[in-house]
């Protein structure tokens, strides 16, 4: 007979299983640094128990993430499986249009001329 799934899981382990952090150590450092909130409360313990329904708030890269835990999961599986562990509550950020070019792309002849100037300038120093 299989064991029943746990109703609580370590916060650092869940963040790692849900693929928010590449390693469990990185997840633990974020939690220990006070950068993760569980249901609006800052927690400093990576072993803090989280379960289904808890809302996590943290920064990942340059993006603020707000997620609700849907299920705990049994392993760190593929990305599709990991995305099923949570519901993203943060509104999508508006996409920035790509920057406009200053002008046309230089021709091969112009690039060679620029390379020749850079070579001469670097040699003078």
Tell me which residue has tokens 């603020």: 64
What pLDDT is recorded for position 91?
A: 76
Strands 36-38, 55-60: pairing is antiparallel
Would 102 be classed as within a structural domain? no
Can you list the alpha helix ranges (DSSP code H) found in 1-125? 11-17, 24-32, 79-83, 108-124
Which portions of the chain are predicted below pLDDT 70? 1-6, 120-125
Percentages helix, strand, coil for the chain, rounded to the nearest 5? 30, 20, 50
Structural domain that includes position 55? 1-92
The CATH code of the domain that includes 42 is 3.10.290.10
Would 112 be classed as within a structural domain? no
Let me know: does 66 contact 57? Beta carbons within 8 Å.
yes
């Amino acid at each position: 007979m299989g064991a029943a799934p746990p109703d609580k899981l370590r916060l650092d382990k869940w963040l790692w299983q849900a693929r928010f952090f590449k390693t469990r150590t990185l997840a633990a450092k974020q939690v220990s640094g006070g950068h993760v909130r569980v249901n609006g409360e800052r927690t400093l313990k990576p072993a803090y128990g989280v379960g289904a329904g808890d809302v996590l708030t943290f920064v990942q890269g340059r993006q603020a993430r707000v997620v609700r835990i849907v299920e705990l999961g049994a392993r760190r599986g593929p990305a599709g499986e990991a995305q099923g562990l949570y519901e993203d509550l943060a509104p999508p950020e508006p996409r920035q249009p790509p920057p406009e070019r200053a002008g046309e792309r230089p021709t091969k002849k112009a690039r060679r001329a620029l390379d020749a100037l850079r070579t001469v300038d670097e040699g003078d120093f």
